[in-house]
Amino acid sequence: MKKIGLLCLALVLALGALGVGYAAWTDTVTITGTVNTGTVDIEIIDYSNTWIWKVLPATNADEIVIDKFWDIGGDGRTPVGMTVPAGVVDAFPNPPPGTVGVDPVAYANSSAGKADDSIVIDIDNAFPLQALTADFLLHYAGTIPVKVTVSDLGFVDNTDTPIDTDIASYVTINYYDSDITGYKGTPIEVAIGDQWHYCDYILVEITVDLAQVDNLQGQSGTINGTITVKQWNEVP
């Protein structure tokens, strides 16, 4: 009996000598991952204009030519669904291809602004009963659905303070479902509050359509506007 006790004691002593600070067995797993945030991003794809020409020799009151070409990718004047004829120069007041004896009368033009995501609209010599539209194509490149929360367009003074003008009520902004060519087909209007999804194309039209009201003649004004989209789940 005495020998077992000594043996046990020896075993305990031997085990105890294996390491000072005897600890639990461990193992480790490592988790590595990435977090990618989504984006809310509108791109301005292209711009278009309305140019009004009058046929000079015509005595018919309806002899006007409305030139509305779509310029995709800056490759010149590409009519929707057509190719640019050779030799066409893309500039107002050059008349549309194939027309002669015309005189420019009025135009509505949209073009890139100096700042990112900005647009400049110029509408000149508008007159009654002939709508002038400056339009541009937006592409929603964000990965998170959004809704339009701000869409306003108004007249301002030289300090950007909103002002009232007689022509204000005749200027409108509308949105339409479109495709990469800017074609709106049978118009499906996009309402404020509708969702835009990744790679949606939205055609925006800013139109001046004056009534036959005398006090609208010879007026001018500076316009200012904003289109803001917001992640969809933050818009009630």
Partner 1 sequence: MKKIGLLCLAIVLALGSLGVGYAAWTDTITITGSVTTGEVCMDIQCPIGSVDGPLSYLTTGYEPAIPAIYGQDWNATVIGPGFHLNPVQRTKNVGWVTNDCAQVPSPRKEVTVTLHNVYPSYWDHLSLGIHNCGTIPLRLEYVTFLDANDNLLIGYDETGAPVTTIKQNTYVKFDLSNNGIFDVEIYWGDNWAVQIEPSDSWDISFWIHVLQDEGIDFSTPQNFTFKAAITGVQWNEYGTVPLPPH
Q: Which residues bind partner 1 (CB under 8 A)?
A: 38-42, 44, 54, 56, 58-59, 61-62, 64, 103, 105-106, 110, 113, 115, 117-130, 134, 138, 142, 144, 146, 149-150, 153, 155, 167, 171, 206, 208, 210, 212, 216-231, 234-235
Chain centroid, CA 118 distance in Å: 10
Chain centroid, CA 234 distance in Å: 19
Let me know: does 131 contact 49? Beta carbons within 8 Å. Answer: no
Smallest distance, partner 1 to C-beta of residue 121, A: 3
Smallest distance, partner 1 to C-beta of residue 69, A: 20
Distance (Å, rounded) from C-alpha 91 to C-alpha 50?
A: 12
Cβ nearer to partner 1, comparing 167 with 203: 167
Cβ nearer to partner 1, comparing 45 with 72: 45
Smallest distance, partner 1 to C-beta of residue 169, A: 12
Which residue type occupies 46? D
Cβ nearer to partner 1, comparing 97 with 225: 225
Q: How far apart are the first and last CA of the chain?
A: 85
Smallest distance, partner 1 to C-beta of residue 158, A: 12
Smallest distance, partner 1 to C-beta of residue 167, A: 6
Cβ nearer to partner 1, comparing 43 with 189: 43
Let me know: does 82 contact 181? Beta carbons within 8 Å. Answer: no
Distance (Å, rounded) from C-alpha 191 to C-alpha 174?
A: 8
Distance (Å, rounded) from C-alpha 95 to C-alpha 102?
A: 7
Cβ nearer to partner 1, comparing 78 with 110: 110
111 φ, ψ to 5°?
A: -155, 170
